Structure 1
């Protein structure tokens, strides 16, 4: 009896053991954005809007490209589960070449701010200038960020996440130090505001890459993979792109709701834009818990698939779903009862705080469906299923959530959701509130469709029962 109970609870323990370093790493990463928003928020409204717009643009580019790099997780995990350690090390090296190529494409797009800002209507020249400076710094930071992601993905795939956690934790201290220096000025450096936040990220990202490279060259778990950067091979690149492009597309669709909302809400003015940034940043912070649990679940599921232990893969996936749902409900308790202290941490601008409190009313609803969407997508990727989730996300998130939100919030149907806004988010700006409501509806529909497809996968394997 005891043995059967331990066997039943083993996936819970294993997922939690692997996910907490991922969670700490993710929180450390998102703290970069929290520090930027909180510290720039104490300069002036122009810098806050510039940082909000610039961060939205960068996140759109980075997350989409990061999704392509994260194809390494199921690929390396399946090799690892099959005990093909040398193949796992070779896959990492091929991922390095892909990261370098993607950084060129992504960096070039960040140097064209006017194309992105055209979605925001009339932007003050001072804001535009600071957005451009912020993005130049982040374009230079992008190669190091994507290269570090190859190390992060490999560490996650082989269940060795503590080293990456320590690097991310250390980076927070340096980010705080450089933020104070570059944003507010000192020691001969002039105050740079939003641009200074970008420069601080540039410096810290390259420091993180150096630390990650040392870990790859010295950590026994990485050395066992025989990590090497051989010449790029089309066969390996094709495998990465076949899985990575739809994964990157899925990541891009997920983040576009935040990015394009920020660009569109800028039409409502400086204060609404700042409030939008607070809610988006908070939702990103909350997302780290389901993402860490989902990443851990996906890597362990992929290892089981690689070892041809399909029943274990199913059990791990279902336990991961239960853990993510539990975490989302606990997070929502904080979102319901601590809204005013949360907003006070972000800004001392009274008008921004008032609008932010009205927008935060939808946070618990949005976060629950965001979490469900996250775990369902990651589990499917563990089986190297990426195209079907992308199609479902295009229909639900882009078609219904993003385009529908624009149509009903700022387009021909503006104001049609006013009754729903009054119920979900009384007092909130109609345009911004409509975008968030439709994004939530899109997430809910996507989650339902992805879970249905996962059930189809299990049924096809004869594992839907038992």
Structure 2
């Protein structure tokens, strides 16, 4: 029932990781399709709608990703209960996660109802764009509760190695998102064209549909029914555990998202074409990140199951297998990024000047991705042991201190140009400021990965002494 499973697969945990990771990867890609559909379709509505979507989406992503990280504390908690055979405790933990998701939804949704506070960071914004941002964010604020509640189901399915059902829901949602986008953005059947607000309403409708499908799944699928998932009254002890683990996890997620946002704002100083090239590289890195993230999530949930089953040897083998898989995947992705640079840039843009700059920036992509992947797996494995505060501190030091602040200092601040010789070696022809930002961001990831792996080694040695 606990997936005696764990006892039956110690010889090749990598097989189990791969079996669980690919549906997570497909689900992640489905989420990207949502953003692509919105951008492509709103772009045909009007320039004001597209700008409003860009601004509003950045607000929503910042809020959602941070709160999603808190909800994802359910993964190691439920996985450890599951591995230990405490199935009813796992079901109760899901219910406690629902209460937390509702609270976070109220807080996050309320913050999105004041667009002027967010837009104060963006300088002068046309009144019409502000109006559309406000309408878009109202729709997304209402879409936040089902999105976070669905994440409790996503976390539970990941924790008990039942990822295919959630993948099916995510894939099915794409069809409805496309249909609702066409209807609400461009109008029809008696409804006027709503532009960017229509895209938000489409997301709202689809999120509630996904939640309904997820609730049906946990009520009717045998693997979930075995947990007896239920909504009991909030318990402070359970909420405290969720927040103790979830707040640092949410902080880690936010650091990574905000680092890219601030990089884009700083690099925009170099002009329109450099900013466009930067966006291509950032988007490509985000796409490549889905593979190590999926492998890391699968590794973390299986490692947490082994920890819960009091099998430290299996937990260690699973963690090391995950590290090996992520490293191999990053190396293969690096080869694709090197060999396919020209084709990749052509797929993104026909603008000659943007493409030329993008090719110079993409020279760092394989190296950046490798350390991004190593940073990802090291953080997720530590979360499997319910260790989240230390990784947050290490990430703040490395990613914010060395990566972001260091990149600004050497790229656009008092020491601007100091890394020009190194930039010319690693990224010949690239704009010095942008190249410096990416080099320092990569060094921040490298340092973060090394620090996290060092702490992971400390955890393994401590367990060995305890054994």
- How does the TM-score come out when normalised to structure 2? 0.89
1:71 Cα deviation after fit: 0.6
The 10-residue stretch of structure 1 (349-358 or 320-329) with the greater mean CA deviation from structure 2: 349-358
1:12-51 matches, within 5 Å, as: 12-40=14-42, 48-51=50-53
Secondary structure at 2:387 match in 1: coil
1:251 Cα deviation after fit: 1.2
1:325 Cα deviation after fit: 0.6
Q: Which residue of 2 aligns with 1:330?
A: 332
1:302-321 matches, within 5 Å, as: 302-321=304-323
- 1:389 paired with 2:391, answer yes
Verify the 8 A CA contact 1:89 1:227 in the aligned structure 2.
yes
1:198 Cα deviation after fit: 3.2
Q: Following the alignment from structure 1 to structure 2, what is the Cα–Cα distance between the partners of residues 41 and 339?
A: 26
1:31-73 residue CA offsets vs partner (Å, 9 max, x unmatched): 2223334445666766555444433332222111111101101
Change in 2 beyond 3 A, CA 1:231/1:7: closer
Secondary structure at 1:159 match in 2: coil
Candidates 94, 100, 108, aligned match of 2:96: 94
1:161-172 matches, within 5 Å, as: 161-172=163-174
1:218 Cα deviation after fit: 1.0
Q: Which residue of 2 aligns with 1:287?
A: 289
The 10-residue stretch of structure 1 (79-88 or 331-340) with the greater mean CA deviation from structure 2: 331-340
The 10-residue stretch of structure 1 (406-415 or 219-228) with the greater mean CA deviation from structure 2: 406-415
1:359-398 matches, within 5 Å, as: 359-398=361-400
Verify the 8 A CA contact 1:53 1:263 in the aligned structure 2.
no
1:111 Cα deviation after fit: 3.0
Change in 2 beyond 3 A, CA 1:433/1:209: farther
1:405-416 matches, within 5 Å, as: 405-416=407-418
1:299 Cα deviation after fit: 0.6
Verify the 8 A CA contact 1:362 1:424 in the aligned structure 2.
yes
The 10-residue stretch of structure 1 (412-421 or 379-388) with the greater mean CA deviation from structure 2: 412-421
Verify the 8 A CA contact 2:9 2:16 in the aligned structure 1.
no
Verify the 8 A CA contact 2:45 2:195 in the aligned structure 1.
yes
Q: Which residue of 2 aligns with 1:3?
A: none
Q: Following the alignment from structure 2 to structure 1, what is the Cα–Cα distance between the partners of residues 13 and 201?
A: 42
Secondary structure at 1:204 match in 2: helix
Change in 2 beyond 3 A, CA 1:60/1:418: farther
Candidates 61, 73, 76, aligned match of 1:74: 76
Verify the 8 A CA contact 1:183 1:192 in the aligned structure 2.
yes
Q: Following the alignment from structure 1 to structure 2, what is the Cα–Cα distance between the partners of residues 271 and 329?
A: 30
The 10-residue stretch of structure 1 (400-409 or 166-175) with the greater mean CA deviation from structure 2: 400-409
Q: Which residue of 1 aligns with 2:111?
A: 109
1:167-189 residue CA offsets vs partner (Å, 9 max, x unmatched): 01111222233334444555555
Q: Which runs of 5+ in 1 are unaligned?
A: 1-5
1:309-341 residue CA offsets vs partner (Å, 9 max, x unmatched): 000100000000000011111112222233344
Verify the 8 A CA contact 1:175 1:201 in the aligned structure 2.
yes
Q: Which residue of 2 aligns with 1:176?
A: 178
Q: Which residue of 2 aligns with 1:141?
A: 143
1:410 Cα deviation after fit: 3.7
- 1:278 paired with 2:280, answer yes
Q: Following the alignment from structure 1 to structure 2, what is the Cα–Cα distance between the partners of residues 14 and 38?
A: 37
1:195 Cα deviation after fit: 4.4
Verify the 8 A CA contact 2:423 2:435 in the aligned structure 1.
yes
Verify the 8 A CA contact 1:179 1:200 in the aligned structure 2.
yes
Q: Which runs of 5+ in 2 are unaligned?
A: 1-7
Q: Which residue of 1 aligns with 2:254?
A: 252
Q: Which residue of 2 aligns with 1:451?
A: 453
1:188-232 residue CA offsets vs partner (Å, 9 max, x unmatched): 555555444433322221211111111111111111111111111
1:42-61 matches, within 5 Å, as: 48-61=50-63
Change in 2 beyond 3 A, CA 1:407/1:236: same
